[in-house]
């Protein structure tokens, strides 16, 4: 699969044969991981990690992926919004060109970007003189987190290889959740008879553009805003994809109801038995009160095990896809 950048799920949804090749590469990365890495694979490649928003798993896993493949981390900022020239008003088209100038061959640079503005990521890609851009979670209600979704879909495929017609329940803050937006683009393409159930407080419902996309392509979805319907959602679901209520994005009456929202669709000991024995419980993390502590140890919960592992493999595969042709 030839790519200049990894920006959106649609890139992979449009080329399912290429996606299969990408997943084979990701699984091949497991051998490199298990051997402790091979610094010769991407020798001569460089990474610029620009995170303008907080991140634990995505930032750390990209750094681990870079380590395992021998990518030199030339610049790394976990608070680029405050500790880079972005704080002075530098525009994305200048930032990407500045970093590209420091390498004799910009094609050997990958810029891993997390940003609150989806258009900033697009500007990085548009004005890059050869450096590759990876979306590490950009935007909010218009955003995506494509490498998270690539790992999530790989997790479903590896954990439940016989699952052909999954019912996927996406739960929580769907308005601001870029992971569920990305998953809504890719999962119905990979599993053509997918049914998606959106479960959220009504003011945090999935954005209209995603629902329009699903309707336009004939993909089935339902939505509920009633906590009383949650047990039935869990009963139907093959995959329960939980997300946290994002307090930092709430205002007014929504902010006043933050605690209520967290508990309205909480997964806990009282409703875990309603999930199929073959079901999967997933979460992009971090979690809050939407997951009761006992959920962590449920054998169907993969968000602290294979989901994390597959996300690392996907990020290794992404780095390899973009950089290997130039190393």
- How many CB atoms sit inside 10 A of residue 134's CB? 24
pLDDT for 79: 67
- Report the 3 state secondary structure along 11-34: HHHCCHHHHHHHHHHHHHHHHHHH
Fold adopted by 146-307:
Rossmann fold (3.40.50)
Q: Which mean pLDDT values do the consecutive 10-residue runs of the chain (327 residues) have?
A: 94 96 98 98 97 90 98 86 59 91 96 94 95 96 96 98 94 96 97 95 97 96 97 98 91 89 95 97 96 97 98 98 97
Residues 6+ apart with CB under 8 A from 141: 175, 176, 207
Q: What stretch(es) of the chain map to CATH 3.40.50.1370?
A: 10-144+308-326, 146-307
pLDDT for 85: 61
DSSP character at residue 113: E
Instruction: Report the mean per-residue pLDDT for the chain.
Output: 94
CATH number of 10-144+308-326: 3.40.50.1370
pLDDT for 276: 97
CA distances from 35 to 30, 32, 69, 142, 214 (A): 9, 5, 11, 39, 42
């Amino acid at each position: 699969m030839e790519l200049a950048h990894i920006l959106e799920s649609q890139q992979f949804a449009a080329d399912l044969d290429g996606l299969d090749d990408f997943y084979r590469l990701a699984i091949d990365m497991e051998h490199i991981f298990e051997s402790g890495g091979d610094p010769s694979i991407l020798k001569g490649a460089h990474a610029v990690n620009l995170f303008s928003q907080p991140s634990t798993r995505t930032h750390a896993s990209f750094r681990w992926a870079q380590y395992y493949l021998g990518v030199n981390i030339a610049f790394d900022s976990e608070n680029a919004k405050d500790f880079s020239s972005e704080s002075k008003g530098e525009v994305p088209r200048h930032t990407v060109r500045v970093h590209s100038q420091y390498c004799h061959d910009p094609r050997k640079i990958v810029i891993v970007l997390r940003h609150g503005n989806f258009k900033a990521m697009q500007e990085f890609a548009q004005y890059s003189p050869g450096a590759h851009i990876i979306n590490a979670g950009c935007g909010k209600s218009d955003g995506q987190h494509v490498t998270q979704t690539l790992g999530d879909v790989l997790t479903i495929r590896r954990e439940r290889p016989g699952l052909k017609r999954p019912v996927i329940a996406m739960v929580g803050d769907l308005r601001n959740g870029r992971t569920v937006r990305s998953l809504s683009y890719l999962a119905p393409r990979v599993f053509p008879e997918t049914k998606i159930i959106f479960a959220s407080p009504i003011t945090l419902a999935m954005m209209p553009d995603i629902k329009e996309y699903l309707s336009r392509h004939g993909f089935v979805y339902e939505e509920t805003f009633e906590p009383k319907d949650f047990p039935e959602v869990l009963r139907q679901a093959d995959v329960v994809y939980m997300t946290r209520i994002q307090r930092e994005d709430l205002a007014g009456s929504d902010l006043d109801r933050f605690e209520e929202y967290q508990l309205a669709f909480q997964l806990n000991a009282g409703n875990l038995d309603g999930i199929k024995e073959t079901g999967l419980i997933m979460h992009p993390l971090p979690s809050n009160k939407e997951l009761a502590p006992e959920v962590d140890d449920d054998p169907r919960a993969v968000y602290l095990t294979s989901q994390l592992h597959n996300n690392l493999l996907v990020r290794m595969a992404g780095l390899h896809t973009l950089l290997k042709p130039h190393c």
